[in-house]
């Protein structure tokens, strides 16, 4: 899947991602499903597909299986999409989940600043 993304074959990347999500869902591995949805949301955001990124991160959040990694990925995706209120809300949640993780806090501050500057023009 990484080779498809890095090679620019987005159709194949999305197809493989959907297949993995379906496979993990049928196996009952919902934490893996949430992880894959958040990862794909982050990558879609990177590609500029903000609507899709928001949808994927919302689906990941609705599963109730978030870990710090999935939450961090969705903070990044919502920040890139310019949805700073949602990014800040998830960043606060992430701070409650892992208050000792200062590196991600620095990343969130950088990411949110970066996005607010880029959306201002």
Confidence of residue 108 (pLDDT cuts 50, 70, 90): low
Residue 57 Cα to chain centre, angstroms = 6
Helix (H) or strand (E) holding 100: none
- Structural domain harbouring 11: 2-120
DSSP string across 24-44: HHHTT-HHHHHHHHHHHHHHH
The domain total for the chain is 1
- Evaluate the CA torsion angle 8, 117, 56, 35 in order and state its sign: positive
pTM, two decimal places? 0.75
Question: Both tokens of residue 86?
Answer: 């949602």
Rounded to the nearest 5°, which phi and psi values hold at 27? -80, -5
Give the pLDDT confidence of 24-54 residue by residue, as tens digits.
Answer: 889 988 888 899 999 999 999 988 999 999 9
Q: What is the CATH number of the domain that holds 66?
A: 1.25.40
Taking only the tens place, the pLDDT of each residue in 57-89 is: 999 989 887 788 888 999 999 999 888 898 888
């Amino acid at each position: 899947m990484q080779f498809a993304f890095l090679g620019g074959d987005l159709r194949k990347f999305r197809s493989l991602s959907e297949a993995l999500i379906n496979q993990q869902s049928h196996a009952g591995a919902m934490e893996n499903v949430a992880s894959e949805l958040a990862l794909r949301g982050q990558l879609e955001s990177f590609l500029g597909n903000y609507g899709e990124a928001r949808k994927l991160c919302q689906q990941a959040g609705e599963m109730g299986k978030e870990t710090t990694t999935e939450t961090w990925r969705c903070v990044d995706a919502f920040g890139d999409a310019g949805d700073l209120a949602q990014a800040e809300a998830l960043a606060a949640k992430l701070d409650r989940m892992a208050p000792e993780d200062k590196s991600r806090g620095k990343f969130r501050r950088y990411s949110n600043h970066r996005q607010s500057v880029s959306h201002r023009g």
